[in-house]
């Protein structure tokens, strides 16, 4: 009885389309080829983060990234970083323990993200930064050096599926040491946008 009800409830629909023999000999681009091309173009992802703060302590940070979604879960990419910071004691306090300084950083990064489950992803990133640290008052010291970073961790993506969203990442710098002038500790909390 159950078999009869399940078979009787199914319908089959079909449609016949007449084919013109002249069209078969001419090459043409089908919709599926166009969709595949659009799908390949949409596999690029763009984003990064930027920050700015002004006052006695001025900071500007620009870090754009570009990635390519190889699969729905795996996205490698590259990025660029520029950071500027300056501390200026406007009151010239006698007991101020910080000398006025200027700090410029420039570098690049390569990264990989792998989606695990429902917005959660693993993240690995290698970064190489070159910096110039300059004291603007006594001792008038200038330091030029480089700082590598290997960031491992993960994050969560809020937003519209794989197409756009806000990312929150918690990363640990495996190459961090106490002489690191760029990052005060090995942990970094990062907010970024990807679209």
Q: How many domains does the chain have?
A: 1
133: domain CATH number?
2.40.160.20
Provide the pLDDT for residue 12. 35
For residue range 11-59, what is the model confidence (pLDDT) as tens digits?
Answer: 333 344 455 555 444 545 555 555 555 555 689 999 998 889 988 889 9
For residue range 85-143, what is the model confidence (pLDDT) as tens digits?
Answer: 998 876 666 555 567 889 999 999 999 999 999 899 999 999 999 999 998 877 778 98
Residue 165 lies in a domain: yes
Quote the CA–CA distance of 99 and 44 in Å, as a whole number: 44
The label of the residue with tokens 């040491």 reads 177
Question: pLDDT confidence of 149, banded at 50, 70, 90?
Answer: very high
Provide the pLDDT for residue 126. 98
SS3 sequence of the chain: CHHHHHHHCCCCCCCCCCCCHHHHCCCCCCHHHHHHHHHHHCCEEEEEEEEEECCCEEEEEEEEEEEECCCCCEEEEEEEEEEEEEECCCCCCCCCCCCCEEEEEEEEEEEEEEEEECCEEEEEEEEEEEEEEEECCCCCCEEEEEEEEEEEEEEEEEEECCCEEEEEEEEEECCCCCCCCCCCCCEEEEEEEEC
Q: In terms of DSSP bridges, do strands 44-53 and 57-68 run parallel, antiparallel, or are they unpaired?
A: antiparallel
Residue 143 lies in a domain: yes
Residue 186 lies in a domain: yes
pTM above 0.85, yes or no: no
123 closest CA partner among 56, 22, 192, 60: 192
Residue 48 lies in a domain: yes
Residue 92 domain boundaries: 44-194
Residue 127 lies in a domain: yes
Provide the pLDDT for residue 34. 55
For residue range 76-93, what is the model confidence (pLDDT) as tens digits?
Answer: 999 999 999 998 876 666
**Chain mean pLDDT for the chain:** 81
Residue 97 lies in a domain: yes
Question: pLDDT confidence of 1, banded at 50, 70, 90?
Answer: very low
Residue 75 lies in a domain: yes
Provide the pLDDT for residue 194. 86
Which has more confidence, 35 or 68?
68
């Amino acid at each position: 009885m159950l078999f009869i009800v399940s078979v009787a409830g199914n319908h089959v629909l079909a449609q016949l389309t007449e084919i013109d023999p002249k069209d078969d000999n001419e090459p043409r681009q089908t919709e599926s080829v166009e969709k595949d091309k659009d799908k390949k173009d949409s596999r690029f992802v763009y984003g990064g983060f930027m920050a700015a703060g002004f006052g006695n302590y001025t900071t500007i940070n620009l870090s754009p990234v570009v990635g390519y979604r190889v699969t729905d879960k795996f996205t490698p990419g590259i990025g660029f970083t520029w950071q500027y910071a300056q501390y200026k004691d406007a009151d010239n306090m006698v007991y101020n323990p910080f000398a006025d300084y200027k700090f410029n950083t420039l570098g690049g990064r390569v990264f990989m993200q792998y989606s695990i489950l429902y917005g959660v992803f693993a993240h690995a990133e290698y970064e190489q930064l070159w910096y110039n640290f300059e004291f603007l008052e006594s001792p008038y010291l200038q330091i030029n050096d480089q700082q590598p970073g290997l960031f491992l961790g993960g994050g969560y993506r809020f937003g519209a599926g794989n197409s756009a969203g806000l990312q929150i990442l918690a990363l640990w710098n495996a190459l961090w040491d106490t002489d690191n002038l760029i990052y005060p500790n090995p942990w970094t909390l990062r907010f970024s946008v990807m679209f």
